[in-house]
A and B are shown apart, each in its own frame.
Chain A
Amino acid sequence: MDVLGGDDAVGVVVLDRRHRLGDRVVVVENHDRPREAFGGARRAVEVGDERPERVPRRLRAAVVAARLDDIVDRGQQIGGERDARPLDILRHTGVVFPTGLNFAFVQYYSPLQKYYFRRRPWESMHILDGFLDPWVAGLCWLLAGAAVGLAARRARTEIGAERAPLLGVTAAGVFAAQLLNWPLPVASAHFVGGAFAGIVLGPALGVLAMTAVVTVQALVFGDGGIVTLGANVLAMAVVNVLVGHAVFRATRSLGETRAAFAAGWVAIVVAALVVALATGASSAFAYDVTTTVTWLVGGHAVLGLVEGAITAAVYGYVATQRPDLLSGATSPVGVRA
């Protein structure tokens, strides 16, 4: 068992049959099915539990504290309260420092925190496994697969000279830029970049660049699911790219900066709509398409302004510094001159 973050820190353990709770750790929250765990008789592991034999096979992860003395009393005291959040418990123990800074440090910097530490164990526009019904995920795979196949076919006529290096650099740049989570209150976002890729590389190469990004994220970093990879490719690598490219082309007469801004903004909203429809059509989201559309489209309509601004700024820079690289998008759009 790994207690991550050092002897005096809280951390997350991922439990499987090889793992046992030891005498230095204590369960603070059962992360298998938080609502069930806190809500009723099906609680699999007791908060405050430290007995090895109590770890069931189905429990995947638990928030634990390494400083047993600090946590046990408070944990047992608060454990019966349904809405007790692990961080609320931990903050009262001194294990997590009570300032926002350290709170955030532990919350975000603990290894594996992304999926296991928080009550809401994910933070991404990327759709996680478990979010989509099988038929929705399958349909997305079909559509995404067809689009990527067509893009690859068409890209063979567009690729040449400097396009392969540019394809690589654009994809890598989008990957790195997506790691930059813009810290905005209420709802935050990171640059998605599909519109940018579509404008710079043209639709076919843009789709391939974004497919590379989304696939590496899912397979190597667990950012987005495997079953839902089709949906993530469809939203971020196909729809985001094609809509961005089309909007840029349609609004270009207004000026390239404005067109790039509009492309970034509209494309992210439409991509969010695809995610909203896919999740809203799935049982995990209770088929509540109104809620998913409201949050995703509404949220990204605002956050998309940042996407549009970055798209316009970076496009403007590339267009000024290296207009020759943009030949794919600037002459007959999407086709190499």
Chain B
Amino acid sequence: MNVPPWFRSALAALVVLALLAPVFAWASGAVGYTEPLEHAAEATGAADDATAAPSVVSGYALSGLPAGVGTLISALAGTALTLVVAFGAGRLLETTEP
């Protein structure tokens, strides 16, 4: 596949980012991670209406695996999948000349 010379180091940077995911998950858990949308939903009662959408993996964790490992695998797989999807979309756009 035709990729520019900087592509390899970009991939390395992506792997490093993914490796950080379990660390940040632990750290944010230690302080009780809450986003503004949560506070708004709690304040208005919307919390009760939240439903989890059907998805392949729920919440970046894999059942049967230690949580940190699940987060890490999710991060690596999700990052790779996003790369493939966006790269693929770009290549597709290249081939469909306007």
State which of A15-23, A136-144, A295-303, A328-336 sits at the interface with chain B.
A295-303
Partner of A225, one of B29, B51, B56, B79: B51
Bound complex: CA A281 to CA B54 (Å): 25
B75, A179: Cβ atoms closer than 8 Å? yes
B56, A176: Cβ atoms closer than 8 Å? no
Known: A109-B67, A165-B87. A104 touches B32 (CB 8 A): yes
State which of A40-48, A66-74, A184-192, A253-261 sits at the interface with chain B.
A184-192
Known: A108-B28, A110-B61. A220 touches B38 (CB 8 A): no
A220, B35: Cβ atoms closer than 8 Å? no
- Interface size range of chain B in the complex: 35 or more
A295, B39: Cβ atoms closer than 8 Å? yes
Known: A109-B25, A221-B78. A159 touches B90 (CB 8 A): yes
Interface of B, helix, strand, loop or mixed by DSSP:
helix
| Chain A 119-147 near chain B by CB (<8 Å), digits 1 or 0 | 11111110111110000000000000000
Interface of A, helix, strand, loop or mixed by DSSP:
helix
B53, A120: Cβ atoms closer than 8 Å? no
Q: Which residues of A contact B45 (CB under 8 A)?
A: 35, 284-286
Partner of B3, one of A108, A113, A165: A165
Q: Which residues of B contact A295 (CB under 8 A)?
A: 36-37, 39-40, 43
State which of A49-57, A89-97, A208-216 sits at the interface with chain B.
A208-216
State which residues 1-35 of B face A: CB under 8 Å: 3-4, 6-7, 10-11, 13-14, 17-18, 20-21, 24-35
Q: Which residues of B contact A165 (CB under 8 A)?
A: 3-4, 7, 10, 87, 90
Partner of B89, one of A212, A272, A296: A212
Bound complex: CA A181 to CA B29 (Å): 9
State which residues 58-89 of B face A: CB under 8 Å: 58-68, 70-71, 74-75, 78-89
A129, B51: Cβ atoms closer than 8 Å? yes
B40, A169: Cβ atoms closer than 8 Å? no
B81, A220: Cβ atoms closer than 8 Å? yes
A164, B91: Cβ atoms closer than 8 Å? yes
Residue A316 lies at the interface, judged by CB distance under 8 Å to chain B: no
Q: Which residue on B lies nearest to A275, using beta carbons?
A: B37
Known: A208-B89, A216-B81, A291-B44. A162 touches B4 (CB 8 A): yes
Least distance between B36 CB and chain A CB atoms (Å): 3
State which of A75-83, A150-158, A244-252 sits at the interface with chain B.
A150-158
Q: Which residue on A lies nearest to B89, using beta carbons?
A: A208
Bound complex: CA A322 to CA B47 (Å): 45
Q: Which 4 A-B pairs have the closest CB atoms?
A: A114-B59, A109-B67, A168-B87, A299-B36
